[in-house]
Structure 1
Amino acid sequence: MERLTLADELVLLAYDDAGVNRLGSPALDHGLAGAVLVELALARRVDLVDDRLVVRDAAPTGHPLLDAALATIGADRRRRSPKDWIPRLAKGLPDEVLAGLVAAGVLRREADRVLWVFPRTRYPSPDGGEPPVETAARQRMTAALTVDGPVDARTAGLLALTRAVGLHRRLFPEVPKDRLKSRLDEIAAGDWASAAAKKAIEQTQAALLIATTAATTAAFVAST
């Protein structure tokens, strides 16, 4: 398939080899919306003006999911913050991203029932192992964390997303916690994107942290 989007990579990282979403919903939904905004910022299609997202370049990116989000943002008469856009763009995103990965042969869709009663849909790889494109994403992220130096913009953006949704500690258990935190801080402060793109990404990351924390709290309250 063509180069994966950040949303594609985030889905692959969020699903285990059995095809089960270990991040949960709505954390994954919000994370994917954040991934779309980060991708558009890196492509210089959107910027922040007075902490509100605006379309800088309406030219299509060539990817339907990104172009749909870009058109939606551009068509809105109100300027909204990343915090406002995340829940609006999140609806249906996991299904769209997963369908694309299935169509490309990266994943397969399996429907079954738990205890023969409760329906469940899983998305393992065709051979049941880790997809090579996911392995490649993990390798470049691990390299960025364990070796000092500059990091490319897409890897830095993906690391910011995994941190924002609380997935980073699960992905890199072999990296000492102190090193993981300090290196992520260092990468976030690095010169890997334009000032405008970094500001948009930082606000998206902050919005994801708020949304994820709220979802976790709501789930805890509901279970008690």
Structure 2
Amino acid sequence: MSTLPQELALLAYDRTTGRERTGGYLDLALGGAVLFTLALAGRVDLDGKKVRVLDPAPTGDPVVDERLAALAADKPRAPHTVVERFARKLTETVRDGLVADGALRHERGKALGVFPVNRYLQARGGIGDETRVRLASAVRTGRTADERTAALLALVAAVNLEKAVFPDRETRPDRKRLKAFAEAHWVGSATRKAVANRRGASAAVASGGGG
């Protein structure tokens, strides 16, 4: 069975172009997916304004367990900070694992015949398509069948991935509805804050560079 970070990564890559669609925030979304995994498994929870480890026992997923061990050895931190720390090198780890498993196919090419481009394409009818069907059903009915589906919707909202996940404008949920999913759980809110912080820092650098 695929993990929550794997499902999210498959949602993030365009099925036609193989390009990543989060605008550069996939690592943070995956960091949120790891934190969601730990929260749903009862390994961590929010204690006041800090994330605390309730149970350091491994989950069985090496990617998740490596970060759980680091969190247990660290002092309690704000949720968005945990997302940012979890995000380090996470895109490569999850993506390369999907390539090794055959869920993604890595193709190298050139844009305009000059610039190197990496594409990650998934098979039709694979895990990514199954996940999209599940999310579409949740949005259509207004009910999620499980906490994992709700977590995915929260992460989709956090990185503005809805256009990639719901390409049909007629069936795409509006931002207000998606925002409700994102804010329904503290991990979703933490991921949104981590994204906002990076976006703000990038804007500040751009503004300073233009002065």
TM-score scaled by length of structure 2: 0.85
Q: Quick check: 2:158–2:195 contact (8 Å CA) kept in 1?
A: yes
Equivalent-residue separation in structure 2 for 1:178 and 1:142 (angstroms): 8
Equivalent-residue separation in structure 1 for 2:84 and 2:65 (angstroms): 17
Equivalent-residue separation in structure 1 for 2:14 and 2:208 (angstroms): 25
Equivalence map 1:24-63=2 (5 Å): 24-25=23-24, 27-63=25-61
Deviation of residue 211 (structure 1)?
3.4
Residue aligning to 1:104: 101
Q: Which amino acid aligns with 1:69?
A: R
1:149–1:7 Cα change, 3 Å: closer
> Do structure 1's residue 138 and structure 2's residue 136 form an aligned pair?
no
Residue aligning to 2:114: 117
Q: Of 13, 25, 32, which residue of structure 2 is paired with 1:15?
A: 13
Equivalence map 1:144-183=2 (5 Å): 144-174=138-168, 180-181=174-175, 183=177
Equivalent-residue separation in structure 2 for 1:95 and 1:189 (angstroms): 27
1:221–1:151 Cα change, 3 Å: farther
Q: Which amino acid aligns with 2:85?
A: R
Superimposed CA distance per residue, residues 1-51 of structure 1 (whole angstroms, 9 cap, x where no aligned partner): xx22221111111111222112232x1111111111111111111111121
TM-score scaled by length of structure 1: 0.80
Q: Which amino acid aligns with 2:138?
A: A
Q: Quick check: 2:80–2:191 contact (8 Å CA) kept in 1?
A: no
1:144–1:215 Cα change, 3 Å: farther
Q: Quick check: 1:58–1:70 contact (8 Å CA) kept in 2?
A: yes
Deviation of residue 184 (structure 1)?
3.5
Q: Which amino acid aligns with 1:207?
A: K
1:155–1:215 Cα change, 3 Å: farther
Aligned residues: 209
1:104–1:203 Cα change, 3 Å: same
Structure 1, gaps ≥5 residues long: 191-197
> Do structure 1's residue 214 and structure 2's residue 208 form an aligned pair?
no
1:178–1:68 Cα change, 3 Å: closer
> Do structure 1's residue 65 and structure 2's residue 63 form an aligned pair?
yes
Identity of matched residues, %: 38
1:178–1:216 Cα change, 3 Å: farther
Deviation of residue 164 (structure 1)?
0.6
Equivalent-residue separation in structure 2 for 1:28 and 1:188 (angstroms): 16
Q: Which amino acid aligns with 2:23?
A: G
